[in-house]
């Protein structure tokens, strides 16, 4: 279970995140919604400890994440995988090598730098790629892929970290509608079939309502809504999005039909 207790992040006296307290049970898929500048990305970066809170605490189980440094912090970043809007792949490297970089958290620095991957680790990477229909492109340079394909590679890289939590920061912001669906379906599969907690920042209210179990709405750095998608009213949507509310409310897309789980040889969650 992830807990945030009065988490605040200030920049020059301005609160980007202001006193946020949340409890996220294991296995939830949470959509964090709100307009640009609401504090969504800052919140996720603090959970991953890419940024430190000005005040407050972030806890996972009995571990105070905000107090970690050195190896324990590195171990937390392995358990809390981050997927970024701009993919963060090494364009000149092939797809398989980019995915293998997710194992770097678990390896001695020398092995990671020299790319000394074991056959078992390569099998795990190929299995993760296969689950996202990307194994056939394992030898292709990442920079030659479409945006949707690159994001699927980034998801595979996160998967082989064997995380407890996946944080996705506007993962579909630069994608077309077809690739948006592919990426959101993949995140939902990770959540529903692998049991991994997913916290996903989304600007689109319809997507958030269609895919997530719970919505956390932010405005001005504060949480102004925290409930199931069906409980979100038009009034609250206007508070979240202002004049954009009429554009984002619409009719929520129906939740995608979950696909049967497919066993992926060589890839298993930690502890399974």
Residue 30: its H or E element = strand 29-33
List strand residue ranges (DSSP E) for 80-234, in order.
80-83, 165-169, 197-202, 214-219, 222-227
Instruction: Give the dihedral sign, CA 125/42/7/23.
Output: negative
Residue 258 pLDDT: 46
- pLDDT score of 28: 97
Q: Tell me the pTM.
A: 0.84
Would you state the pLDDT for residue 115?
66
pLDDT of amino acid 131 = 87
pLDDT of res. 111: 60
Q: What is the pLDDT of residue 33?
A: 95
* Predicted pLDDT of residue 240: 85
Q: Which domains can be identified in the chain, with CATH numbers?
A: 2-249 (3.40.50.300)
What was the pLDDT predicted at 263? 38
| pLDDT at residue 39, as a whole number | 93
pLDDT in tens, the chain (272 residues): 999 999 999 998 899 999 999 999 999 999 999 988 899 999 999 999 999 999 999 999 999 999 999 989 989 999 999 998 888 898 899 999 999 888 876 665 566 565 667 888 888 889 999 988 899 999 999 999 998 999 999 999 999 999 999 999 999 988 889 889 999 999 999 999 999 999 999 988 889 999 999 999 999 999 999 999 999 988 888 878 875 555 555 434 444 444 444 333 344 433 33
Q: What is the 3-state secondary structure (H, E, C) of 43-81?
A: HHHHHCCCCCCCEEEEEECCEEHHHCCHHHHHHHHHHEE
C-alpha distances (whole Å) from 212 to each of 80, 112, 267 are 19, 35, 25
């Amino acid at each position: 279970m992830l807990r945030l207790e009065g988490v605040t992040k200030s920049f020059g006296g301005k609160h980007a995140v202001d006193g946020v307290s949340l409890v996220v049970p294991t296995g939830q898929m949470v959509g964090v919604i709100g307009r640009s500048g609401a504090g969504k990305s800052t919140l996720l970066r603090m959970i991953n400890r890419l940024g430190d809170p000005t005040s407050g605490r972030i806890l996972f189980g009995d571990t105070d994440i905000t107090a970690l440094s050195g190896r324990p912090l590195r171990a937390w970043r392995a358990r809390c995988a981050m997927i970024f809007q701009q993919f963060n792949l090494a364009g000149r490297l092939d797809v398989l090598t980019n995915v293998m970089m997710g194992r770097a958290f678990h390896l001695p620095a020398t092995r990671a730098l020299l790319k000394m991957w074991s056959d078992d680790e390569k099998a795990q990477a190929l299995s993760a790629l296969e689950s996202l229909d990307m194994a056939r492109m394992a030898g292709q340079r990442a920079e030659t892929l479409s945006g949707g394909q690159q994001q699927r590679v980034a998801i595979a890289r996160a998967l082989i970290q064997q995380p407890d939590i996946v944080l996705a920061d506007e993962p579909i912001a630069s994608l077309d509608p077809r690739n948006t669906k592919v990426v959101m379906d993949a995140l939902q599969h990770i959540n529903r079939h692998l049991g991994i907690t997913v916290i996903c920042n989304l600007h689109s209210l319809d997507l958030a309502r269609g895919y997530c179990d719970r919505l956390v709405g932010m405005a001005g750095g504060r949480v102004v809504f925290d409930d199931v998608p069906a409980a979100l009213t038009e009034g609250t949507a206007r508070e979240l999005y202002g004049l954009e509310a009429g554009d984002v409310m619409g009719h929520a897309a129906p939740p995608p039909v979950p696909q049967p789980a497919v066993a992926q040889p060589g890839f298993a969650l930690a502890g399974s």
